[in-house]
Amino acid sequence: MTIPIFQLNSGRGIPALGLGTYKLDGPVAAPTVAEALRLGYRHIDTAAIYGNEVQVGQGLRQSGVAREDVFITTKLWNDHHQRDRALRAFDQSLAALGLDYVDLYLIHWPVPADGLMVEAWRTLIEIADSGRAKSIGVSNFSAEDLAAVIDATGVVPAVNQIELHPLRQQRDLRALHAELGVVTQAWGPLGRGADLRDGVVRAVARDAGKTPAQTVLRWLVQLGIVAFPKTARPERLAENLAIDDFELGPRDMERLNAIPDAVR
Ligand code: NAD
């Protein structure tokens, strides 16, 4: 399995495909992470609020895959944007994961109302300077939020992790990311399963001889977008990773690009 590596503005590489872990908890969490790594996943996305950092760390150790071969992301939760709290939350995440660094640390949500977005970003810069987060970024940031942290610090987030899937393509924000050199990460890349029933997705998948999930993930990776679908089912873990043996042609890419956003 060859997963493309995308370049971050930190100079580090990030595997274009990973495993999402939202709602991956309880006794299945650690074995699922271990199984994913044994299958060839090299990128795990978690967050303090998911309550599964301990299990992600256990899964990593159970897998036998070397720490330095896996890209681990975690996120700062909303009530910890103040500097001291953010530093403490980061220490707690590292301790829960059982790691001495993460590959990527994100501000989970901007929470503009708390007035602490820039303070949180400055603290992430401090953490990156300490070497304990190899790259830093944000999640769920609007164009205005991005401008606020960049204008205040001059430091551009390596990624912005946003909801992105065939029925919500985030075209404007992606164009801005491209201008800024921010890598787009898609959360909910399968539309939580719903987009796999879309008529265009199914038609392109049929033509490609692939499943709807493989088609959507291949489309995202060909667009230069990082995706980490979540599943606890072994057969789906394998399915979602098997996207390197086909390529969508320009016409199929265009069909998927043209899917209108769902009415929200
Ligand atoms: P997703 O789009 O990955 O959908 C997951 C669901 O899709 C699964 O529960 C399953 O029902 C279905 N599925 C998975 N593989 C399938 C397959 N091969 N065939 C058919 N159905 C399949 O949604 P998600 O889990 O919400 O998003 C992925 C990850 O993004 C999360 O696990 C988490 O790591 C991250 N995330 C981040 C934020 C954020 O605010 N930054 C928010 C939500 C999720």
Q: What are the structure tokens assigned to 79, written together?
A: 């009530």
pLDDT at residue 86, as a whole number: 98
Q: Indicate whether 264 pLDDT > 90.
A: no
Q: Ligand 1 pocket check: which of 17, 21, 22, 196 to mutate, most ligand atoms within 8 Å of Cβ?
A: 22
Ligand 1 near 45 CB (within 6 A): yes
Percent of the chain at pLDDT above 90?
98
Asked whether residue 112 is assigned to any structural domain, the reply reads yes
Structural domain contains residue 223: no
Q: Are 93 and 74 in contact (CB under 8 A)?
A: yes
pLDDT the model gives residue 206: 98
**Do 59 and 33 contact (CB within 8 A), yes or no?**
yes
Residue 252 is predicted with a pLDDT of 98
Whether residue 257 lies inside any domain: the answer is no
Query: Measured from the CB, is residue 141 less than 6 Å from ligand 1?
Result: no
pLDDT at 199: 98
Taking all residues of the chain, what is their mean pLDDT, rounded to a whole number?
98
Q: Is 231's C-beta closer than 6 angstroms to any atom of ligand 1?
A: yes
Per-residue pLDDT tens over the stretch 167-186: 999 999 999 999 999 999 99
217 close to ligand 1 (CB < 6 Angstrom) = no
Nearest protein CA to atom 38 of ligand 1, as residue:
187
Q: Is the pLDDT of residue 1 over 80?
A: no
Q: For residue 168, with 0-12 CB atoms within 10 Å meaning exposed, 13-18 middle and 19 or more buried, which class applies?
A: middle
Q: Total domain count for the chain?
A: 1
Residue 261 located in a structural domain: no
- State the sign of the Cα–Cα–Cα–Cα dihedral 159, 174, 19, 191: positive
The percent of residues above 70 in pLDDT, for the chain, comes to 100
Q: Kindly state whether residue 136 falls inside one of the protein's structural domains.
A: yes
Confidence of residue 263 (pLDDT cuts 50, 70, 90): confident
Pairing of strands 5-7, 13-15: antiparallel
222 CA distance to ligand 1 middle (Å): 19
CATH assignment of the domain containing 54 = 3.20.20.100
Token output for 161:
């992790």
Tell me how far the alpha carbon of residue 167 lies from the centroid of ligand 1, in angstroms: 14
Per-residue pLDDT at 24 exceeds 80: yes
pLDDT in tens, 94-148: 999 999 999 999 999 999 999 999 999 999 999 999 999 999 999 999 999 999 9
Say whether pTM exceeds 0.95: yes
pLDDT value of residue 249: 98
Distance in angstroms (rounded) separating the CA atoms of residues 86 and 138 = 14
Does the structure show a pLDDT above 90 at 210? Answer: yes
Domain membership of residue 173 (yes or no) is: yes
Q: Give residues with Cβ within 8 angstroms of 135, minimum separation 6.
A: 8, 9, 10, 12, 14, 103, 104, 105, 128, 158, 159
Q: Is residue 241 part of a domain?
A: no
Residue 169 lies in a domain: yes
The model's confidence at residue 251, banded by pLDDT at 50, 70 and 90, is very high
Range of the domain at 68: 11-188
